[in-house]
Each structure stands twice: as C-alpha cells, then as structure tokens.
Amino acid sequence: MHRHGYKGRKFGRKTDQRHALIAGLADALILSETIETTLPKAKEAVRYTERLITKAKRGGLHNRRQIMSKLPTPEAAHKLMDDIAPKLSSRSSGYLRIKRTTSRRGDGAQLAGISFVDDLSSKSTAKEPKPKANSKKKTSAKKAARPKAAKAQKEVEK
C-alpha cells in the first residue's frame, strides 16, 4: 500500500485514542509549559498545539470555542487564550521547541522535551494604554486643576 497523501502518525492506536492522546499532550503542555514524551509524539503534539496557539492569538469568541473543543480541560483553553497567546504576539510561528533528551531505559525509545521558545514567566501581559493626541487634553487638565484649587482654598478657610 502506498503512503502518499497520508499525514500524521498512527502510534498503533485507533483514531479516537490517537486524538485523545495528542489532545492530552497539548493540554499538559499548555498547563505545565514543558513536558517530556517520545520524539514522534512530541512532533505531533507540537503540530497540534501550534495550530491552537495561532487560533488563540486571533482571539474572539469563535476561536475560544474552537480551542475549548480541541482541549480536554477548559482551564487549559482559558490559560492559552488569556495568558499565553498575548505573550507570543511578537512571533508569527514557531512557538514551541523540541529538544531531544535521553533514550528510555525500558525500550530504548528516543525521548524529547517540548517547551515554549519564549520565557512565558518573565513577560507581562498588561499593555500600556496609548495616550490620545487631542487638543482638548490641555483644557481638560486646566478644568481638572480648578476644582482642586477651589477645594484647597475651602479647606484653608475652615
């Protein structure tokens, strides 16, 4: 049988088991930000998770619901949308890295660690509001200063 046009690995599992495996790996990766698994599973988990990150960066309710349908726990979906995606806004792709580690002792399988390329703990998600360039800003500052001066004079008179 030819192998042309068939994407993805089967891992010796049926379709629903395979989808659950990859979704579970993606869930663990999002929640703990680094995991270790076998190399073929790591490659598939990175493909799956990077697509979810791209959806999360787009934002919106529809993409949030799609991500929630692809991950087993809602906590992972919310963390991906609210915490991780804003920190990865500077990247257009390549959010994850696969690093080969040791061979497993029992069967000699090649193990690999998956982690985010950017350090997610150091960056802040709060964006500073941009000041609006209005000419009325100077007059509003003067108006705001007047009541303060009037209050200060009333306190002095008391």
- State pLDDT tens for residues 53-65: 999 999 999 999 9
Residue 7 lies in a domain: no
Residue 79 lies in a domain: yes
| CATH at residue 53 | 3.90.1030.10
More confident residue, 78 or 7: 78
53: containing domain: 15-120
Residue 92 lies in a domain: yes
Residue 126 lies in a domain: no
If one counts the domains in the chain, the total is 1
Residue 115 lies in a domain: yes
Per-residue tokens: 123: 């960056």
Please tell me what DSSP assigns to residue 115: E
Look at 40-54, 79-93, 123-137 and tell me which has the smallest mean pLDDT.
123-137
Which run of H or E residues covers position 35? strand 34-38
Helices and strands (H, E) in the chain, number of each type:
6, 3
Instruction: Report whether pLDDT(128) > 50.
Output: no
Residue 24 lies in a domain: yes
Using pLDDT thresholds of 50, 70 and 90, give the confidence band for residue 3: confident
Residue 104 lies in a domain: yes
Per-residue tokens: 75: 């906590």
Can you tell me the mean pLDDT for 137-156? 58
DSSP, collapsed to helix, strand or coil, labels residue 34 as strand
The pTM (predicted TM-score) of the whole model is 0.75
Within 8-135, where are the H helices? 15-32, 39-58, 61-70, 74-79, 85-87
Residue 130 lies in a domain: no
Using CA atoms in the order 66, 92, 58, 33, what is the torsion angle rounded to 10 degrees?
Answer: 50
User: CA-CA distance, 89 to 118, in Å (whole number)?
Assistant: 11
